[in-house]
């Protein structure tokens, strides 16, 4: 098992949930008052999406390389 | 007690998704668990970057998150010594000099190395003391996890204990060491992403690093220390009375930097086991070095929040309160309290998940080290040798259940003692400190005899018990007499370790001259430095994968960090 796949998937799923919720709740000033007015959900969500994407990219590229070698 | 907050559906959803992945990894690895070696040693086929991250993640349990956060508040940046001088040199030493003997010999565990190098009784002594230590460490992480679920999710404490035990049991029972290691990597990334926004918002709130420094200068002066004590590492270590840790540079250098650090990182099977699961000798040697790189920066995640909390508490307008149930300041709860203070719903679920991940990796790491030592070093050597591998696989699985079950008992013991963390630090000083002297002599002086090693180890462990019984610090220790008093528990711990190591070192050397060497040179090949051919790097590894080059780079970065935060 390539551990990068489950890590990548988890980060993409959680990142998507957080970012989507961040966009949906962006106007809620009361909610983000704790975080000094920063939309931490959106930013953390995007960070996780990017990281999860990179994690998934490695095994994807490796699989493609293998396929082209087999041809 | 934490301030008012509510968890929304989204927070619970994040936690639930995380648990599905954790259990799913265990489930997916189940089909590989056909032999005791797969289950207990991870099959020795894991890439070095994975074992390297697991190496530090297995440590990132309750003791580190609660303990380092609390120390960050109480002692400031000096706590970072636990990372720079207290981990990096030892990790480099393990990689360059000790790993060839662990990975290259037939030993499957640290106690088994002691058997091959010395004798059965030295192994037995270490196996039993290590087993007890892992159970307590696992119980403490379980206790912390259950407390967190009680405070944050309003679950019943007893149910929380059972729930956390069941989750860890399922994924370690299904996928063994490999499942624990894979989950530790997942947990490591979650901890980083869960805590990092907290540090950023917290720093913004106190006015950046400059604001933090100014505020902590005031705190330091109000407590009767020089202005920079909370934000520098070495500057105020000339004497023990000039810093809040109560430690001078000799105790720091010898106690933490030499004895405790090397004792912990080089001889504790919990971490060594991760490196031994790597797929090659160079992978095993790279493991501590790959771990060392993020390790140097972990203080940002665990110590800086403590410092921020200390600054915020001195700023009444900020409204951060750290009051425990007993009405005293509860430094252990710094990170959970700050999560609730700064995180809105959504990321709050992620933060709580990160904390749970940390405690679960602390538990699983200890459980997987326990079941290996129990199966190979206790059961197979003393109770039932010579059975089929299938039998030992069954025993390993049973030991996992049994280990989790007695960790539950240890968690309740932890719940009833408020100084259980100090207690565990003390066990580290008792078990690991003298052991490092035994290893140094065993690996680098071929004359060292088995009997000398055993009695030296026993003498060293007794020396730490005696030292702790005749000295006192913060009202602890001194059961027998009050011969000396230390300004802090930490100073007492460091000096206990120094005495334990020295006694073990001297007694082992002296006894070696009076006892017979029962091992021949050929017995010791692969176990002792002078009798082992020099380890060569495998052909085809790239320059930056060479352990020596990595060690130089890591050493250089840690020196730069030390100078910046001098």
**What ipTM was predicted for this assembly?**
0.93
The CA-atom distances, in angstroms, between B309 and each of B135, B147, B319 are 31, 20, 11
Q: Which of B187-201, B405-419, B531-545 has the highest mean pLDDT?
A: B187-201
Look at residues B77, B562, B174, B82 and name the one whose alpha carbon lies nearest to residue B396.
B174
Rounded Cα distance, B432 and B435, in Å:
5
Give the pLDDT confidence of B37-84 residue by residue, as tens digits.
888 888 888 899 999 999 999 888 877 888 888 888 888 888 888 898
Assigned token pair, B37: 């070696």
At residue A1, the pLDDT reads 78
Average pLDDT over residues B455-472: 90
At residue A14, the pLDDT reads 95
Q: Are strands B471-473 and B484-486 parallel, antiparallel or unpaired?
A: parallel
Residue of B nearest to A6 (CA): B21
Q: Is pLDDT larger for residue B537 or for residue B447? A: B447
- Inter-chain touch B343–A40, beta carbons under 8 Å: yes
Confidence band (pLDDT; 50, 70, 90) for B431? confident
B539: phi then psi, degrees, rounded to nearest 5:
-65, 145
Poorest-confidence range of A50-59, B15-24, B337-346, B482-491?
B482-491
pLDDT greater than 80 at residue B539: no
Give the pLDDT confidence of B202-238 residue by residue, as tens digits.
999 988 899 888 888 888 888 888 888 888 888 888 8
Query: Residue B247 is inside which H or E element, if any?
Result: none
Give the pLDDT confidence of B115-163 residue by residue, as tens digits.
999 989 999 999 999 999 899 889 888 888 888 888 888 888 888 888 8
| Angstroms from B55 CA to nearest CA on chain A | 16
Rounded Cα distance, B169 and B184, in Å:
15
- Inter-chain touch B17–A10, beta carbons under 8 Å: yes
Number of domains in chain A: 1
Give domain limits for chain B: 9-418, 422-535
- Inter-chain touch A40–B14, beta carbons under 8 Å: no
Bridge partner residues of B278 (DSSP):
B46
The residues of A whose Cβ lies within 8 A of any Cβ of B are 1, 3, 6-7, 9-11, 13-14, 17-18, 21-22, 25, 31-32, 34-36, 38, 40-41, 43-44, 47-48, 51
Query: Residue B51 is inside which H or E element, if any?
Result: helix B48-57
pTM for the model stands at 0.91
Average pLDDT over residues B492-502: 90
pLDDT greater than 60 at residue B2: no
- Inter-chain touch B347–A40, beta carbons under 8 Å: yes
Residue in the block written with tokens 């710094």: B334
Rounded Cα distance, B171 and B53, in Å:
19
At residue B323, the pLDDT reads 61
> Are the C-beta atoms of residues B515 and B59 closer than 8 Å to each other?
no
Q: Are strands B471-473 and B476-477 parallel, antiparallel or unpaired?
A: antiparallel
Q: Domain limits at A47?
A: 4-70
- Inter-chain touch A10–B21, beta carbons under 8 Å: yes
Q: Is pLDDT larger for residue B476 or for residue B228? A: B228
Q: Is pLDDT larger for residue B483 or for residue B358? A: B358
At residue B1, the pLDDT reads 43
Coil, helix or strand for B473? Answer: strand
Residue from the list B25, B204, B341 with its beta carbon closest to the beta carbon of A6: B25
Q: Pinpoint the alpha helices (H) of chain A.
A: 4-24, 29-32, 40-70
Neighbours of B158 (CB within 10 A): 12
Rounded Cα distance, B539 and B546, in Å:
11
pLDDT greater than 90 at residue B441: yes
- B21 vs A contacts (CB less than 8 Å): 6, 9-10
pLDDT greater than 70 at residue A6: yes
- Inter-chain touch B350–A32, beta carbons under 8 Å: no
The residues of B whose Cβ lies within 8 A of any Cβ of A are 10, 13-14, 17-18, 21, 24-25, 28-29, 50, 182, 185-186, 189, 193, 197, 201, 204-205, 341-347, 350
Assigned token pair, B361: 């990796």
Look at residues B540, B533, B548, B544 and name the one whose alpha carbon lies nearest to residue B280.
B540
- Inter-chain touch B185–A3, beta carbons under 8 Å: yes
Average pLDDT over residues B537-559: 84
| Angstroms from A17 CA to nearest CA on chain B | 8
- Inter-chain touch A35–B343, beta carbons under 8 Å: yes
Q: Is pLDDT larger for residue B51 or for residue B469? A: B51
> DSSP letter at B514?
T
At residue B317, the pLDDT reads 73
Residue of A nearest to B23 (CA): A6
Rounded Cα distance, B159 and B473, in Å:
37
Assigned token pair, B119: 């004798």
Give the pLDDT confidence of B274-331 residue by residue, as tens digits.
999 998 888 899 999 999 999 999 999 999 999 999 888 888 777 777 766 566 677 7
Rounded Cα distance, B468 and B493, in Å:
8
Give the pLDDT confidence of B381-427 residue by residue, as tens digits.
888 888 888 899 999 999 999 999 999 998 888 777 655 566 776 77
pLDDT greater than 50 at residue A50: yes
| Angstroms from A70 CA to nearest CA on chain B | 23
Average confidence score pLDDT of chain B: 87
Give the pLDDT confidence of B329-343 residue by residue, as tens digits.
777 788 888 888 889
Confidence band (pLDDT; 50, 70, 90) for A35? confident
Rounded Cα distance, B198 and B204, in Å:
10
> DSSP letter at B152?
H
Question: Which CATH superfamily does the domain covering B9-418 fall into?
Answer: Sodium/glucose cotransporter (1.20.1730.10)
């Amino acid at each position: 098992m390539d551990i990068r796949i489950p890590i990548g998937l988890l980060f993409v799923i959680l990142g998507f949930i957080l970012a989507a919720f961040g966009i949906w709740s962006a106007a809620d000033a009361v909610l983000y008052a704790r975080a000094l007015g920063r939309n931490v959900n959106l930013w953390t969500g995007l960070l996780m999406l990017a990281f999860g994407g990179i994690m998934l990219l490695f095994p994807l590229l490796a699989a493609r390389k293998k396929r082209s070698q087999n041809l | 007690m934490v301030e008012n907050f509510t968890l929304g559906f989204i927070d619970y959803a994040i936690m639930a998704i995380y648990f599905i992945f954790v259990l799913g990894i265990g489930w997916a690895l189940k089909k590989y668990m056909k032999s005791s070696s797969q289950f207990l040693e991870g099959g020795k086929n894991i890439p070095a970057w994975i074992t390297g991250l697991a190496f530090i993640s297995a440590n990132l349990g309750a003791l580190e998150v609660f303990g380092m956060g609390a120390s960050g508040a109480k002692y400031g940046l000096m706590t970072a010594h636990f990372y720079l001088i207290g981990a990096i040199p030892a990790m480099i030493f393990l990689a360059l000099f000790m790993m060839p003997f662990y990975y290259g010999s037939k030993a499957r565990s640290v106690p088994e190395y002691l058997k091959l190098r010395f004798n059965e009784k030295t192994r037995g002594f270490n196996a039993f003391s290590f087993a007890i230590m892992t159970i307590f460490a696992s119980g403490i992480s379980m206790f912390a996890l259950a407390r967190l679920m009680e405070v944050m999710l309003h679950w019943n404490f007893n149910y929380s204990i059972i729930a956390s035990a069941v989750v860890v049991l399922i994924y370690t029972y299904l996928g063994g060491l490999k499942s624990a290691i894979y989950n530790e990597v997942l947990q490591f990334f979650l901890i980083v992403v869960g805590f990092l926004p907290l540090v950023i918002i917290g720093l913004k709130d106190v006015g950046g690093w400059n604001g933090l420094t100014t505020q902590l200068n005031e705190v330091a002066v109000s407590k009767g220390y020089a202005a920079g004590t909370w934000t520098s590492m070495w500057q105020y270590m000339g004497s023990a009375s000039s810093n809040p840790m109560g430690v001078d540079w000799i105790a720091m250098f010898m106690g933490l930097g030499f004895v405790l650090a090397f004792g912990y990182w080089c001889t504790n099977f919990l971490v060594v086991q991760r490196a031994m699961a790597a797929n090659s000798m160079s992978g095993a040697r790279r493991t501590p070095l790959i771990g060392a790189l993020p390790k140097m920066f972990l203080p940002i995640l665990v110590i800086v929040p403590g410092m921020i909390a200390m600054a915020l508490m001195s700023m009444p307008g900020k409204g951060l309160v750290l009051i425990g149930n007993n009405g005293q300041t509860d430094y252990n709860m710094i990170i959970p309290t700050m999560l609730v203070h700064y995180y809105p719903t959504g990321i709050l679920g992620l933060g709580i998940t990160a904390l749970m991940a940390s405690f679960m990796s602390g538990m699983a790491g200890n459980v997987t080290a326990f079941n290996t030592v129990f199966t190979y070093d206790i059961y197979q050597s003393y109770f039932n040798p010579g059975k089929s591998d299938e039998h030992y696989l069954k025993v390993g699985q049973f030991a996992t259940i049994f280990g989790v079950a007695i960790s539950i008992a240890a968690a309740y013991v932890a719940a009833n003692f408020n100084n259980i963390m100090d207690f565990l630090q003390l066990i580290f000083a008792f078990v690991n400190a003298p052991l490092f002297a035994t290893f140094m002599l065993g690996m680098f002086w071929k004359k060292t005899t088995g009997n000398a090693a055993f009695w030296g180890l026993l003498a060293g462990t007794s020396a730490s018990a005696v030292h702790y019984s005749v000295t006192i610090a913060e009202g602890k220790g001194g059961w027998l007499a009050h011969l000396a008093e230390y300004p802090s528990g930490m100073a007492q711990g460091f000096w206990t370790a120094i005495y334990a190591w020295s006694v073990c070192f001297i007694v082992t050397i002296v006894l070696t001259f009076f006892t017979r060497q029962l091992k021949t040179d050929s017995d010791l090949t692969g176990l002792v430095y002078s009798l082992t051919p020099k380890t060569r790097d495998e052909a085809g590894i790239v320059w930056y994968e060479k352990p020596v080059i990595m060690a130089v780079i890591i050493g250089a970065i840690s020196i730069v960090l030390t100078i910046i935060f001098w």
